[in-house]
Structures are given as structure tokens and as C-alpha cells.
Amino acid sequence: MAEPLPVLLEIHGLTRRFGGVTALSEVSFGVAAGSITSLIGPNGAGKTTLFNVVTGIIRPTGGRVVFEGRDVTGWGAHHLARAGLARTFQNMRLFGTLTARENVIAALGARMNRGFFGGLRRSQDPKLVKEAEKLLAFVGLERQAGEVARELPYGMQRRLELARAVALEPRLLLLDEPTAGLVQAEIEDLLRLIDDLRRRGMTVLLIEHNMGLVMGHSDHVVVLDHGAKIAEGDPAGVSADPEVIEAYLGREDDE
């Protein structure tokens, strides 16, 4: 990359304490617009906590989050979602009793930010249904549109969750271990989808546990360990960093 890309998300000195435990300690980094940035680190490094703070699920103890030049620290989750930040969850949090189509429509409708009377309109509005089915087709679930989410096979649920997040038309998509529990073929499909989304102009921030997997798909890698950033850079540089290697290899026995 010759020209430095504008920074979409800036994280400044982000800290989060839970009682006496410091889950995040003064973490700072930026996510360049149009990039795929990976957040890696061993279990308990604070990756999901960072996601939760950035997406407004929990408040930071200190530090700032700046999205598209606006300070969004402490904003509620639903405001951030409407402002262009969408996410998936490590343990998948679909609307289990809703159909695949309804899961996507829920996010589509929220984006439209309707008032009370708009909210009285039919949820199965033909325009919403069409848009939802386009998104389901994108993740290969066009035939499962009418099926109840919790009855779908695991791999399909993962893709449904991605479709639901994309329905918000985010500028920044945060994916929390999207490949967890998937078999190799499914992982490759999913990575292809992520590349596709990036080509459509979405910036992706990805949590990944498996370091080998992110290397071919990331422009930038940030490494967390014990709540602190220990390295960042391009994939090759980071994977050669002795501190990173130690964080991964040195503690494999106590995982």
C-alpha cells in the first residue's frame, strides 16, 4: 500500500476494568478504511472485551473510541449500530425463534429508524423481504429463508449472523471469531464472503484465534495479550515478532 488509507476507527488508550481485573489496558490502534484488520491474541487477551466496548455493549473505564472522526465513546449499542458499526458474536446470538428472513428484516428495519407509526407497518413489507432475500442469497441461504434460525445447522447459523450484520449496511463490520467451529471448507467459504464484503467497501475488524488463518486475509494485525497491545503491523512482521511468538507458544500449556 503506497498511500496511507484514512483511518475509519481510532482507539485511544482504551481501558476496561472489571473490579480488580484489568481486561483492557491502554489499548490504542487504528483501523484503516477499506482494510481487513485482525485482532489476535491468546484466550483471555481482551479481544471480545474490546469488541464489546467498541460496539457499546459495555462502557470503557477510560480512553476514547473515534469512528469516522466522531467521538462515539459511551454511545449505546443501538446508536452505534445505526451509525454504521455492525458486529457478530463469538457464541452466535441469533434471534432463535425467528426465521432466517425475519432475523435479517429485524436488522434492516432497525436501520430505517422508524417512528412509532412507521413501526406499525407490516414487518413482511415486500421491499424488506426482497432485500432480506438478497442478503440471504449472498451468504448462500436463499433456500432457508423461511426456516427458524435455531433449527438451522451450525455453519448456516454463522452465515445467517453475517447476513444479519451486513443488513445494517455498516462501514465497519466487526466479526468475533466467525470461523469458530467451522470445518475447513466452510472456513474458506466464509473468508471468501469477507473478501467480497471488503471489495464492496466494507472495512472489517476480525477477531481470530487461529493465527495461521488470518495471515493470508489481513492487511494489518493487532496482537493483544493480557489486555495490552503487544504488537501490530503487517502479518509477516507480526508473526516474526518474538513477543508475539512467546505470547502464543509460551503459554500454550496453561490454556
Partner 1 sequence: MVGLDSYALTVGIVVGIWVLMALGLNIITGYAGQVSLGHAAFYAFGAYTTAILTTNLGWSWFVTMPLSVVVAAGLGVLLGLPSLRLKEDFLAIVTLGLGLVTQSLALYLPFTGGSLGIGGIPYPSVGSFSFGTDTFFLMVAILAALGVALSLWLDRSWIGLGWRALRDDELAARAMGLDVTRLKVLAFAIGAGYAGLAGSLLAHHLGFIIAYNFGFNESITALAMIVVGGMGTVRGALLGALLLGMAPELFRPLAEYRMSVYGALIVAVMVFQPGGLLGERSWVARRLRARSLKWRAKHG
Positions in the binding site for partner 1 (CB under 8 A): 55-57, 76-78, 81-82, 86-87, 89, 93-98, 102-103, 105-107, 109-111, 113-114, 116, 118-125, 164-165, 167-168
Q: Which is nearer to partner 1, 27 or 94 (CB)?
A: 94
Nearest to 87 by CA among 97, 99, 102, 77: 77
Minimum Å gap between C-beta 110 and partner 1 is 3
Minimum Å gap between C-beta 95 and partner 1 is 4
At residue 47, the 3 state secondary structure works out as helix
d(CA 59, CA 62): 9
d(CA 76, CA 179): 27
Nearest to 234 by CA among 249, 248, 222, 247: 222
Q: Which is nearer to partner 1, 138 or 248 (CB)?
A: 138
Minimum Å gap between C-beta 26 and partner 1 is 25
Minimum Å gap between C-beta 28 and partner 1 is 24
Minimum Å gap between C-beta 123 and partner 1 is 4
Q: Output the CA torsion 226→227→230→233 (10° steps).
A: 130
Minimum Å gap between C-beta 120 and partner 1 is 5
All three cell numbers of 79, joined, read: 446508536
Contact 136, 102 (CB under 8 A): no
Q: Which is nearer to partner 1, 120 or 185 (CB)?
A: 120
Nearest to 51 by CA among 175, 193, 183: 175
Contact 84, 68 (CB under 8 A): yes
d(CA 136, CA 89): 18
Q: Which is nearer to partner 1, 163 or 191 (CB)?
A: 163
Hey, what amino acid is at 12? H
Q: Which is nearer to partner 1, 119 or 181 (CB)?
A: 119
Cβ-based neighbour number of residue 35 at 10 Å = 19
Cell 442469497 maps to which residue? 137
The DSSP output letter for 147 is S
Q: Which is nearer to partner 1, 80 or 244 (CB)?
A: 80
Q: Which is nearer to partner 1, 141 or 238 (CB)?
A: 141
Minimum Å gap between C-beta 109 and partner 1 is 5
